[in-house]
Structure 1
Amino acid sequence: MSFSSLALSPVLLKTLLNQNFTTPTPIQDAAIPAILNHKDVLGIAKTGSGKTASYVLPILTKLQQGSGQKNRHANILVLLPTRELAEQVKTVFHAFSKTLPVPVKTVAVYGGVSINPQMMALQGVNILVATPGRLLELIDSNAVSLASIETLVLDEADKLLNLGFKDELNRIISLLPEKRQNILFSATLNPDIENIHQILLQEPVVIKIESTADSVDLISQIAYIVSEEKKGPFLRHLINHLEMKQVLIFASSVHVADAIVNKLRKNNFDARAIHSKKSQGARTEALQLFRAGKLRILVATDLMARGIDISDLPFVINYELPRSPKDYVHRIGRTGRADQFGQAISLVSQNELHHFEVIQKKMGKQVNLVDGENPEFNFGFRV
């Protein structure tokens, strides 16, 4: 299967070719025709599987076939849980719409920054990418109308619902036209997703792309048993010993993320944290530097990592284990992307050993455990 067989706009096909995209991913192959045929879609696929392009490409194709709306009446609404994801999705829309014969305007709105520039940017918008809270602020200020929405996309729907956006989503949905196309994408299928899909979607095309063993097998995993008080020194030794040029470190809380960064900086490591308590400017700058390879170490909480997509990130470290085995797979999946080999390292205390066994069982893969406090151990990787 190739993109040329999916009835996309000829200009988009040329753009895909120029960007060396020749073969659609499984989620794109299944979702693009369904969206072009105006079907409701429920897509379940892991992060990094190409979900964004699977709705961006058919939406842009359909907008080329219509006249579009004017003023502050967007045609398309994409809802996401974080500012970083909103910016990332906006960037994808911009990348594919630059050469389209019919101009398409995409605007991303989210909290944490001044609302006035966003209000001004909404003039003539076609595609509105938004976080729920800021969207409702704009609606309450009469800065935007949802009366002309033809397509609603809920991206990262599992996180939208897990983060307590249910009330906001219900209010937004109540303001939309009854006749519209609904597209729901999620990395997981849980009871919340089942409930909202039954309410929101009309006879949907259900697409479930199972994670393959190969996607995990591209990632070399190892875990070190280290006491909580020794995790900091061990982490610094690990980064130096393996000569890590770039590494993403996961913490389970804002407090721990900041503490890790403070210790790293005191020991002359170039590190920054990204989490919900950071200003939007600080978060954007940290991500840009990390993507450009100008920041060696980025420490993130699970939610913020949804906006981190780097094709050749060599190392991921779990300073703490996540609560959910699915979050563990999502974390380590930040490396080993685009068929590139990656290395995932977990620091596991004695109290976390049972939980780590559960994670391995759910993942279906055994991870080599090394006593990190044994002075004779080696790091398990070739360096």
Structure 2
Amino acid sequence: MSFTNLGLSPALLKVLSEQNYSKAYPIQKSAIPAILKGNDVLGIAATGSGKTAGFVLPLLMNMQNRLVTKNRHITVLTVVPTRELAVQVNEVFQTFVSGLAKPVKSMAVYGGVSINPQMIGLQGVNVLVATPGRLLELVESKAVHLSDVQILVLDEADKMLNLGFKDEMNRIFALLPQKRQNLLFSATLSDDLNSITQVLLNKPVVIKITPETNILSQIDQVAYFVQEERKGPLLRYLIKTKKWKQVLVFTSSGFKADAVADKLIKNGIDAEAIHGKKSQWVRTEALRQFKAGDIQVLVTTDLLARGIDIEFLPCVINYELPRSPKDYIHRIGRTGRAEAPGEAISLIAPDDEHHFKIIQKKMGRMVDRIETDDIDLRGF
């Protein structure tokens, strides 16, 4: 469906055309008109389905008639679970603000970097994209005020409303005005999320696009069964023989991510590791280079399992399995995005087999199995 029928302004349609957005995805087709009408929205749609543009475009239009003019009092608050996602969502806002009659200033704030530049930068900000901890620090410092927020967005809402963020989110909700538009977007709808949304949302428009397990049908999943000590050589064998130019590798810890990346580099493969213990500058720069194709292999933890959009990423490899089936789906959902094909490979050691069976059962899909005992890994 074309964007021209969704109620967007000619100026925004011009920016969409310049950015090569040719058609609206299902989540955008449903969410944009609902948000333009001022409805609360609960959007459940798979990774890579265009959720971010689905709320950014109508929000920017709605803001034109109700911008808060008091300095450091923001109009739109978007809360996200990770620094990387904060940067990415803000980039989408900044892409489309040029199509507005009235200027709108957006900014991303997150921890791991100095708070002082962020405090200064919040002058005149209308749209704030924030991680919970840094947002509360800025509120306590009186660098930003939430009393005039008109629209609240929770991106990756299932993550934002679980126990890990519960206390911080409750503190944020207490600072917001009771009357506001609420938009919650998530790839999955858990029982916990369903119960919480009944409190947060007022007569919401519920949009549920194709379940993630069906979206994953366009991803070619393969499991290589391998002895633990042969995982590293097999990883290097696959990267070299398949000649992938861009590979995202997931491990279970930052320590393992560093070790895997170091071994790749020693074997002539351009690689970088990023995880929560790396500085924000290192993480941002490595992700930028990987997206640009300047780094062949990015090794990471579940830090990048959610929300990060790497266009046309051909392959994701689970060097180690995640703890939950849901995280497995989020991981492999980094490839096969926006209708592009993708390949997801898991390296399964004997100790992983039982857990992998559980993942497949929860996913509702069996993964093709490849034995590797006969693969000659000498030299890799």
Query: How far apart, CA to CA, are the structure 2 residues paired with 1:213 and 1:284?
Result: 30
In the other structure, the counterpart of 2:367 is 367
In the other structure, the counterpart of 2:349 is 349
Instruction: Please give the per-residue CA displacement for 1:263-292, whole angstroms capped at 9, x wherever unaligned.
Output: 222223211112111100000010000000
CA contact (8 A) 2:247 2:315 kept: yes
What secondary structure does 2:331 align onto? helix
Query: How far apart, CA to CA, are the structure 2 residues paired with 1:93 and 1:118?
Result: 18
CA contact (8 A) 2:31 2:54 kept: yes
In the other structure, the counterpart of 2:3 is 3
Query: Please, what TM-score do these two structures have when normalized by structure 1?
Result: 0.94
Query: How far apart, CA to CA, are the structure 1 residues paired with 2:213 and 2:174?
Result: 41
After TM superposition, the structure 1 = structure 2 runs for residues 148-297 of structure 1, keeping only pairs within 5 Å, are 148-162=148-162, 164-211=164-211, 215-297=215-297
In the other structure, the counterpart of 1:312 is 312
What secondary structure does 1:164 align onto? helix
What secondary structure does 1:177 align onto? coil
CA contact (8 A) 1:69 1:148 kept: no
Query: How far apart, CA to CA, are the structure 2 residues paired with 1:10 and 1:70?
Result: 29
CA contact (8 A) 2:47 2:307 kept: no
CA contact (8 A) 2:251 2:318 kept: yes
Query: How far apart, CA to CA, are the structure 2 residues paired with 1:245 and 1:163?
Result: 38
What secondary structure does 1:185 align onto? strand
Q: Pick which of 199-208 and 51-60 moved more.
A: 199-208
Q: Which amino acid aligns with 2:269?
A: F
Query: How far apart, CA to CA, are the structure 1 residues paired with 2:278 and 2:19?
Result: 34
Q: Which amino acid aligns with 1:37?
A: K
Shift of residue 99, structure 1, vs aligned partner: 3.2
Shift of residue 294, structure 1, vs aligned partner: 0.2
After TM superposition, the structure 1 = structure 2 runs for residues 53-68 of structure 1, keeping only pairs within 5 Å, are 53-68=53-68
Query: Please, what TM-score do these two structures have when normalized by structure 2?
Result: 0.95
**Cα pair distance change 1:114/1:122, threshold 3 Å:** same
Q: List runs of 5+ in structure 2 lacking aligned partners.
A: none
After TM superposition, the structure 1 = structure 2 runs for residues 14-25 of structure 1, keeping only pairs within 5 Å, are 14-25=14-25
Query: How far apart, CA to CA, are the structure 2 residues paired with 1:109 and 1:338?
Result: 27
Q: Which amino acid aligns with 1:338?
A: A
Alignment length, in residue pairs?
377
Q: Which amino acid aligns with 2:249?
A: I
Shift of residue 163, structure 1, vs aligned partner: 6.3
CA contact (8 A) 1:41 1:182 kept: yes
Q: Which amino acid aligns with 1:25?
A: Y
**Cα pair distance change 1:176/1:213, threshold 3 Å:** closer
Shift of residue 67, structure 1, vs aligned partner: 4.3
Instruction: Please give the per-residue CA displacement for 1:52-90, whole angstroms capped at 9, x wherever unaligned.
Output: 111100100011233442311100000001110000000
In the other structure, the counterpart of 1:111 is 111
CA contact (8 A) 1:40 1:181 kept: yes
In the other structure, the counterpart of 2:28 is 28
CA contact (8 A) 1:70 1:125 kept: no
CA contact (8 A) 2:46 2:215 kept: no
Q: Pick which of 357-366 and 254-263 moved more.
A: 357-366
Shift of residue 209, structure 1, vs aligned partner: 1.1
Q: Which amino acid aligns with 1:239?
A: I
Q: Which amino acid aligns with 2:54?
A: S
In the other structure, the counterpart of 1:381 is none
Q: Which amino acid aligns with 2:14?
A: K
**Cα pair distance change 1:27/1:307, threshold 3 Å:** closer
CA contact (8 A) 1:112 1:279 kept: yes
In the other structure, the counterpart of 1:71 is 71
Q: List runs of 5+ in structure 1 lacking aligned partners.
A: 378-383
- Runs in 1 of length 4+ with deviation above 4 angstroms? none
Q: Which amino acid aligns with 2:116?
A: N
Query: How far apart, CA to CA, are the structure 2 residues paired with 1:63 and 1:375?
Result: 59
Q: Pick which of 289-298 and 223-232 moved more.
A: 223-232
Query: How far apart, CA to CA, are the structure 2 residues paired with 1:283 and 1:274?
Result: 6
Instruction: Please give the per-residue CA displacement for 1:286-343, whole angstroms capped at 9, x wherever unaligned.
Output: 0000000000100111232325312211111110112222222222221222332222
Shift of residue 38, structure 1, vs aligned partner: 1.1
In the other structure, the counterpart of 2:98 is 98
CA contact (8 A) 2:45 2:212 kept: no
CA contact (8 A) 2:187 2:212 kept: no
Identity among equivalent pairs (%): 61
